[in-house]
Amino acid sequence: MDLVSIVCRRRHFSPRTEESYRYWIKQFIYFHEKQHPNTLGAPEVESFLNHLAAERRVSASTQTQALNALVFLYDTVLGKPLGEMTGLKRVQRRQRVPVVLAREEVKAILEHMTGVPRLMAELMYGAGLRVNECVTLRVKDIDFAMGVLNIRAAKGSKDRTTLLPERLHDPLKQQLLRVAQQHKDDLSHGAGLAPMPSALARKYPSASSSLAWQFVFPSTVLRPWDEAGRLARWHTSDSTVQRAFRAAKSLAGVHKHASVHTLRHSFATHLLASGTDIRTIQLLLGHRSLQTTMIYTHVLEVTRKVVSPFDSLDP
């Protein structure tokens, strides 16, 4: 498992991808009674993946994730390619329409949120951010002059630029003032570092202690970071805004099966409804394929106001 992590990091996979691969490789090993993968092969991989589909009834994306992890294990880590697996039963992928909140529902939910979680939710809706993109935002990534957010190393290790809502300029500036004061206090106590991606800490030794690299939504605690055990302030947890959103949704009386990620779907759908070009929305969301963004046209067709023939019947 250590070798799996080493290869993942050498290939600059995201920490979440590494965690996912390690999880499915462990599940595969446990399924075959802790036999070493070197003694197993394609038939055993097939039986495990078929078990996920038939017995555990996982989704198509979950089965694909497990398949990718095992192909990576055998092809890249062990150097024993699996080859063609003719007995593999793939879960049928279903085309699902994402849940979208109406503007009134978004407003009602946000009104029941307070403090930093509310600002995070407003930013996710106003800029179309994923949860991880929001919590990992750094001070240097906010450009008030241009009115944009620079999203770094997002899904697929891609950078992109998205809009910064004008109404959030002042709240964000107030948040940055609080971050700056906290950073100043940390420095006075021998801390004040922010974890740096890849090898940038060695390339720019003083950058981690600068305000520019601090997280916009920092954690409330300091944790050891590097080999020397220096204290750094990471970003806040994803669960901070997720819990606050769930509570606010309940208080607002919104019964849709929505999570905080639904704000990103709502951002795209509301832009499309207001006449924004689909290509522009693709760029703002950071989708690789336009086909992915096109799902919101289906959402709009469903939610567009159409008069039922029943309503036209004489009373």
- Active-site annotation, residues: 130, 155, 261, 264, 287, 296
CA distances from 144 to 134, 148, 162, 167, 267 (A): 16, 7, 12, 11, 20
Burial of 286 (0-12, 13-18, 19+ CB in 10 A): buried
C-alpha pair distances (Å), 208 with each of 74, 187, 193, 202: 37, 11, 5, 10
Write the DSSP symbol of residue 97: P
Which ranges in 147-195 belong to alpha helices (H)? Answer: 169-188
Tell the residue number behind the tokens 């462990």, with chain if given.
26
| Assigned token pair, 49 | 């993946």
Cβ atoms 69, 49 nearer than 8 A: no
